[in-house]
Amino acid sequence: MDIRPIRDEADYQWALKEIEPYFTDEPALGSPESDRFDVLAILIEAYENRHHPLGPSDPVRILHYAIEDLGRSQTELADLLGSRSRASEILNRKRCLTLEQAHRISTAWHLPLELLAVPYRLEGAAA
């Protein structure tokens, strides 16, 4: 099992590249690949919690994080939401995600639905 500690950004990028195939081709439970997937996920989570804390859950922050740090793009988001303008409105806090949109993003990008399906403030909204 090729596993190593994640000590720096290069190790982190290596781990992300290693774990990505498991999201599209999930290994059989109890297999060596499944064990490797679990260990990589734990190492990645520990590194992210130390070096890339997300702070309070905010769907827009989560989307920006996915785009800036996880290799996703605004074009991919637009494809999931049906239009570039819709993606821009959501990323700029002009429109809230619907539950259906949050579910679509969660499924496609493997993000926890509970992080995307929470209320958040729009730009210019009263306190």
Helix (H) or strand (E) holding 35: helix 32-51
**Domain-wise residue ranges, the chain:** 9-51, 59-116
pLDDT at 74: 96
What burial letters (b/e) apply to 81-95, b meaning 16+ CB within 10 Å?
beeeebbeebbebeb
Instruction: Output the CA–CA distances (angstroms, integers) from residue 28 to 9, 33, 108, in the order listed.
Output: 29, 8, 20
Q: Are 60 and 91 in contact (CB under 8 A)?
A: yes
pLDDT at 25: 87
- Find the farthest-apart pair of alpha carbons in the chain and give their distance in angstroms, rounded: 53
Q: Which of 13, 26, 94, 108 is nearest to 60 (CA)?
A: 94
Determine the pLDDT at residue 55. Answer: 63
- How do residues 46-101 score in pLDDT, each as one tens digit? 998 888 776 667 899 999 999 998 899 999 999 999 999 999 999 999 999 999 99
Angle value at C-alpha 88, between 90 and 53, nearest 5 degrees: 60
Q: What is the pLDDT of residues 11-53, one digit of tens each?
A: 999 999 999 998 888 899 999 999 999 999 999 999 988 887 7
Q: Does the pTM exceed 0.75?
A: no
Q: Report whether pLDDT(102) > 90.
A: yes
Please report, as a single letter, which amino acid is at residue 120: Y
CA distance 15 to 69: 13
Distances (CA, A) of 21 to 12, 16, 25, 27: 16, 9, 6, 10
CATH of domain 59-116: 1.10.260.40
How much is the pLDDT for 92?
Answer: 95
